[in-house]
Amino acid sequence: MRIVIRMCILMLVLVTGGTVFAAANGELTIGTTKAGVTVTLDRVISEGRALTSVTDTAKQPVFGLGIQDFTVSQGDMKGKVVSVQSVAEVQDVPVNIVMVLDNSFSMEERNAIKELLTGIDKVLKVVRPIDQVHMVVFDNKLTTKVGNRNLHVQTFKSRNAGELRAFAKKAYSKQGVTSKTFLYEGMLAGLDIVGKLPATNPRIMIVFSDGEDLNSKVKREDVVKATQGIGKFNAYAVDYMPTTDTNKFLTKFAKDNRGQIWKAKSEANLVSIFESVATSMDYAYILTYVFIPPHVPQPVVVVFPEAALFDFDKAELKPAGKEQIKAYREDLKSGLSRADKIKISGHTDNIGTAEYNMKLSLRRAEAVRDYLQSIDIDPGKMEVTGEGMSRPIADNRTKEGRANNRRVEVEVFGLEK
């Protein structure tokens, strides 16, 4: 029987009805249907979950993708992506961050220290307890052994934002600032740390500098050579120099290593630039996927966008929303009558707390159920759940993605009899 849905609905898809099939053999492959981008499988987190990164032709991170933009296969089996999340939305994928900070006297001369520490704090605010941050700063007197070199740097690592703030504040104190610049030595020490971090998790190196190096015992060629064999990491650079163009060396370093560079012409730009750096660090996607055996009956799923049914942050059906559901019931009337089960689930974006969103999504699902019941759908067949922000189908880092994630899904089981 052909079912025609006449109203405006976000999508009609087939999804798993709770049966997860693990492909027995073959290499897992994550692909994309979107032109001009490349998907890299960074690692399999667990069965049915994978960490991926997506870049464009310029090797820059791509945001705004949803489940419809990814493909998954393993051997001869075709899978289905059912959820798309960023690393910031989960608590089991740590991020390793290495910050190379120019603490030379020029920062004090330009009255930039207050803004710089505020900018660094913007990065530290997105650091979670599972993440680890290494800081590398210049040092006039003491050296740190890196390989067979004694570099004029000091390093510090912690998962505690308070400890990291204290170290940065000390580095930019009158006792901490240096009279010499050791940019290349600092970058070499940072790359040594990156190379020792697990490549299975996101690795990020941030370089803040005015681009000058007057005193390093190593050359920029040593820095370039040190990137070889490290593997994938993302390099972000902040060029703090009142010139028009970004520093050529830092620009190439960032672009060659899947990153980008920002130009800070004055201290007034520093805080907003570090905010942009903090946002850009969350570049990867975590995909949840399933493999569905052939010939296994699947439910028919209709997705109602939030805007079609509810006002923002509300759980009472709008008059137009009731008309949408009534039209859905008319188009699928016989199917709803002979269905074995009708599952109604509410979903939100990631704005707000998990607890609040879970309650809101459940209230919305209940509102849809109650209205379906009022128009003669058997209440005994209906099952209601609130999923909150746990199963996004689009990128919550974009306005459009968040709008797509605010939805109610109605799954009808048992039509293929």
Same domain, 171 and 261: yes
Same domain, 409 and 313: yes
Could you give the C-alpha distances from 317 to 301, 365, 369, in angstroms and in order? 20, 10, 11
Q: Report the C-alpha gap between 285 and 345 in whole angstroms.
A: 23
Same domain, 304 and 342: yes
DSSP assignment letter at 212: -
Give the pLDDT confidence score for residue 25 in this predicted structure.
Answer: 59
Do the domain assignments include residue 22?
no
How would you class 109 by CB atoms within 10 Å of its CB: exposed for 0-12, middle for 13-18, buried for 19 or more? exposed
Is 35's pLDDT higher than 60? Answer: yes
Do the domain assignments include residue 2?
no
Do the domain assignments include residue 70?
yes
Summarize pLDDT for 213-234 with one digit per residue, the tens. 999 999 999 999 999 989 989 9
Give the pLDDT confidence score for residue 152 in this predicted structure.
Answer: 98
Query: Could you tell me the CATH number of the domain that includes residue 254?
Result: 3.40.50.410
Domain that holds residue 174: 96-280
Q: Which of 250, 280, 310 is a domain's end point? A: 280
Query: Angle at Cα 216 formed by Cα 213 and Cα 218, nearest 5°?
Result: 115
Same domain, 84 and 106: no
Same domain, 266 and 313: no
Pick from 112-121, 169-178, 193-202, 325-334: least confident: 325-334
Summarize pLDDT for 167-188 with one digit per residue, the tens. 999 999 999 999 999 999 999 9
DSSP 3-state of 394: coil
Give the pLDDT confidence score for residue 334 in this predicted structure.
Answer: 81
The pairing of strands 203-209 and 234-240 is parallel
Same domain, 195 and 134: yes
DSSP result, 229-291: TT---EEEEEEESSSSSPPHHHHHHHHHTT-EEEEE-SGGGHHHHHHHHHHHT---EEEEEEE
Do the domain assignments include residue 3?
no
DSSP assignment letter at 380: G
Do the domain assignments include residue 1?
no
* Residue 382 main-chain phi, psi, to 5 deg: -95, 135
Give the pLDDT confidence score for residue 417 in this predicted structure.
Answer: 56
Do the domain assignments include residue 23?
no
Same domain, 233 and 121: yes
Do the domain assignments include residue 21?
no
Pick from 16-20, 209-213, 411-415: least confident: 16-20
Is 7's pLDDT higher than 70? Answer: no
Q: Which of 248, 280, 312 is a domain's end point? A: 280
Is 208's pLDDT higher than 50? Answer: yes
Res. 292 pLDDT band, cuts 50 70 90: confident
Q: Report the C-alpha gap between 158 and 129 in whole angstroms.
A: 10
Do the domain assignments include residue 213?
yes
Same domain, 136 and 253: yes
Same domain, 185 and 258: yes
Query: Can you tell me the mean pLDDT for 13-37?
Result: 65
Q: Which of 241, 267, 291 is a domain's end point? A: 291
Neighbouring CB atoms inside 10 A of 111's CB total 10
| Cβ proximity of 70 and 84 under 8 Å | yes
Query: Could you tell me the CATH number of the domain that includes residue 364?
Result: 3.30.1330.60
Q: Report the C-alpha gap between 261 and 255 in whole angstroms.
A: 8
Same domain, 244 and 228: yes
* Average confidence score pLDDT of the chain: 91
Same domain, 246 and 155: yes
Q: Report the C-alpha gap between 202 and 352 in whole angstroms.
A: 25
Among 351, 361, 357, smallest CA distance to 315 is for 361
DSSP 3-state of 222: helix
Total number of domains constituting the chain? 3
Same domain, 273 and 378: no
